[in-house]
A and B are shown apart, each in its own frame.
Chain A
Amino acid sequence: MPSNNSDQNDTQRMLQDSARAFVSRSGGVDGARERRSLPAAFDRETWQTMAENGWFGLLLPEEQGGLGLGFAEAAVVIEELGRVVAPEPFVSAIVLAGAVLRDGDNPDLCNEKIENLISGSVIPALAWQEAANVYDPAAITTRAVPADGGFLISGTKKFIPAAAGADAFIVSAMGPDGLALYWVAADAKGLGLSSDRAVDETDIGTLTLDGVSVAKDQVLVAKDTAAIMARAIDEARVCAAAELVGVMKEAFDITLAYVKQREQFGRPVGKFQALQHRLVDLWIQQELSRDVLGQAVQCFDSSDDVANRASEASAAKARCSEAGLLIGRQSIQLHGGIGYTDAYHIGMYLKRALVLSAWLGNADMHRKRFADVAPEVAA
């Protein structure tokens, strides 16, 4: 008897229906796995369908052409994408890149890019990180030097999700007036991109910029850049947590169905108490994940307080990363031998959890960050 808590509103139910219809039309998990073998590791046509569903404007304000909805709505769609381990870079290209465009101080340029983002015609990637496990947007060495009325940018950017499919990069660099974000087309001269495959077969790019020339009017953000980026990164963390919740829920559902059907010793293995208790413990982690995510989503939809947002994003990313990995590992174990085969889908859930956990700070990093930003509660 589950609790009576139909906490979704009509918009959220509609979005969930539309997301479920989309994932089924796009071939479910089979389709999502096939799309990884494309050169960009995701499918441009699928991307276009997502755009036509109106999802790319969910989090953007109406005055910028978006739908002006919140994280509660975005999370519904993202969870469904997580359930089929979709490779399309919704969180990195739409949430993360979209947030800096939304908050940028060059409205003409930003609004033009947002229009293309929402229509799906241009896929941007935020290229900001330079060293592993460093998440301070200002801790970079990439420079933008004034030249010919514009800038020459040099440096190296790492850990860029879906870089191979990006049409343009939003590059952070130290300019003459401090940290700024620049729009750089993927075919710009002096730009080098090398790709690594993540364990889930999606793309992780390293971008080298060797005196890449950028026009003066291609600066997206020049004021409060670090704060704008930090805000965007925390928003992406909450959405990555939502994707992890989708991943773990589906992995758990698949595993639960399996132990009910798989018979050994003359009965379904799910009748054995040792397995029942383990499944309950996994389910508890899933419930905690959805609740801490729910709290973070509510915070992001109602509060602009930076410290509050930071601690809730870290709490959600920490729990969802840890639980996603735990459920991913145990799902393989509970399947036995078949769980270790490539043909069976369950292993892909662990791989997706590995990628989403590592991105933007893993559980360990976020527990430390939570301790740094959240005030201790008095007894």
Chain B
Amino acid sequence: MSETRDMNALGDDEFRAEIREWVEANYPEELRFFPRRILMDECRDWYHKLSEKGWLCPVWPKEYGGMGLDPGKFIIYTEEFERHGVARMPDQGIVMVGPLLIKYGTEKQKEHFLANIHAGNHIWCQGYSEPNAGSDLASLRTSAVLEGDEYVVNGQKIWTSLAHDASWIYMLVRTDKDAAKPQEGISFLLCDLKTPGITIRTIPNIRGEEEFCEVFLDNVRVPKENLVGEPNRGWTMAKALLGFERIFVGNPRMCSYALNRLRLLAESLDAFTDAAFTARYNKHRLDVHDLAASFERYAGILKSGGEIGSDVSFLKIWATETYQRITEEMVELAGDLGSYRDDLLLGNNKVDVMNQFLGSRPSTIYGGSNEIQRNILAKQVLGL
């Protein structure tokens, strides 16, 4: 089922109102502002509701059951979901696998996998990082060797978010060990996690959650038709998938939320009578305000049909580091209470100091660490 209208034809306000009204009427109240990554079993009904409405895959083209939204409308869609506190579902199939297959997949792959994403049968996870290939991803060593009609895969993936909740994994694997450059011997492979030889182990994070996993691959046999695109072109395809969605890592929402928590904490502790704290708070406020101004510029480029370049990386750096500074301020302000693991109850206010502080840590690591982002900016934007 899909949305039959071209929603790009609606006016922005009309479109926003329609998204808002439907989300408010259909999103389960108890899942609003969910405090951690949500699992498929916890949001299955919502997933199906979205799918039935035809709103599950906002940027997929309409011919593949998506909404085909242009960037401007997609930004509004995202804003409305976030405003209502809609949890981020296990969305790798929607965000990555769909666009990958639509661009590079065979007709058979598209038919099979896209339908299973719409139906919620396949939940995908991303197999990129390895124990010795993090920031230097191109050095990855998990190998896939063609034997007859199957690739035999051996190796290990790590930091695989929600692999234990997923049914399929899309992986970057090494198919040519002798390529001139490490980037040139890498392919994209799709693999059913039920295939013999796969072991998944969760890695509890410092918040005590089981969000990421290790995936061990021991002589895993994958049908060769599950290779996406040309062999040894995986790196190029992965880079091409970094589309305009990159601006969302610079979304000011996360910082605004943390700033509000900081304000609540400060009010509870009567900290605004302290001029030194107030000066720091005002600085954080403007850091978030100015982030929003920059985010708006990039959103404006997209809305007017322009293209986003690698300079957009600065949004990720500023958004995540501002987020961390605000959560650090919360711990500092909490004083004795700054060591508490659980949310603080202050009068009628509940403030998740430690949850925010610890939760902000990985933001400067994932999606290309901030150090890597700085390398990219130095090279590609500053020409250093």
* Interface residue ranges, A against B (CB under 8 Å): 1-5, 7, 256, 259-260, 270-271, 273, 276-277, 279-281, 283-284, 287-288, 291-292, 294-295, 315, 318-319, 364, 367-368, 370-371, 374, 376-379
Select which of A4, A271, A294, A315 is within 8 A of B289 by beta carbon: A315
* Interface residue ranges, B against A (CB under 8 Å): 256-257, 260-261, 263, 278-279, 281-283, 285-286, 289-291, 293-294, 296-298, 300-301, 306-312, 314, 317-318, 371, 374-375, 377-378, 380-384
Q: In the complex the two chains form, is A291's CB within 8 Å of B301's CB?
A: no
Known: A288-B294, A315-B290. A1 touches B282 (CB 8 A): no
Select which of B281, B309, B381, B384 is within 8 A of A271 by beta carbon: B384
Contacts across chains A and B counted by CB atoms under 8 Å: 116
**Told that A1-B311, A377-B260 touch, could you supply 19 new A-B pairs with CB distance under 8 A?**
A4-B309, A5-B306, A7-B300, A256-B382, A273-B378, A283-B314, A287-B314, A288-B290, A291-B297, A292-B289, A295-B296, A367-B279, A367-B286, A370-B282, A370-B289, A377-B256, A378-B260, A379-B260, A379-B261
Known: A279-B384, A367-B283, A376-B263. A294 touches B293 (CB 8 A): yes
Known: A288-B290, A315-B290, A379-B260. A368 touches B282 (CB 8 A): yes
The complex places the Cα of A376 from the Cα of B256 at a distance, in Å, of 10
Expressed in whole angstroms, the minimum distance between the Cβ of A299 and any Cβ of chain B is 10
In the bound complex, residues from chain A placing their C-beta under 8 Å from that of B306 are 3-5
Expressed in whole angstroms, the minimum distance between the Cβ of A99 and any Cβ of chain B is 24
Known: A277-B371, A378-B260. A291 touches B294 (CB 8 A): yes
The 5 A-B pairs of least Cβ separation, nearest first, read A276-B378, A379-B260, A1-B309, A291-B294, A3-B309
The complex places the Cα of A81 from the Cα of B253 at a distance, in Å, of 36
In the bound complex, residues from chain A placing their C-beta under 8 Å from that of B289 are 292, 315, 370, 374
In the bound complex, residues from chain B placing their C-beta under 8 Å from that of A288 are 290-291, 293-294, 318
Q: Please classify the interface of chain B as helix (H, G, I), strand (E, B), loop, or mixed, using the class held by over half of its residues.
A: helix
Chain B residue nearest to A289 (CB atoms) is: B290
Most B C-beta atoms less than 10 A away, residue of A256, A276, A287, A370: A287
Select which of B257, B296, B317, B382 is within 8 A of A276 by beta carbon: B382
In the bound complex, residues from chain B placing their C-beta under 8 Å from that of A7 are 300
Q: In the complex the two chains form, is B384's CB within 8 Å of A276's CB?
A: yes
The contact sample of 15 A-B pairs, CB cut-off 8 A, is A2-B309, A3-B311, A5-B297, A271-B384, A276-B375, A277-B378, A279-B378, A279-B384, A283-B314, A295-B296, A319-B290, A367-B279, A370-B282, A371-B281, A379-B256
Expressed in whole angstroms, the minimum distance between the Cβ of A106 and any Cβ of chain B is 38
The complex places the Cα of A287 from the Cα of B382 at a distance, in Å, of 13
Chain B residue nearest to A368 (CB atoms) is: B282
Expressed in whole angstroms, the minimum distance between the Cβ of B320 and any Cβ of chain A is 12
Q: In the complex the two chains form, is A284's CB within 8 Å of B317's CB?
A: yes
The complex places the Cα of A256 from the Cα of B382 at a distance, in Å, of 8
In the bound complex, residues from chain B placing their C-beta under 8 Å from that of A279 are 378, 382, 384
Q: In the complex the two chains form, is A370's CB within 8 Å of B285's CB?
A: yes
In the bound complex, residues from chain A placing their C-beta under 8 Å from that of B314 are 280, 283-284, 287
In the bound complex, residues from chain B placing their C-beta under 8 Å from that of A283 are 314, 377, 381-382
Q: In the complex the two chains form, is A371's CB within 8 Å of B293's CB?
A: no
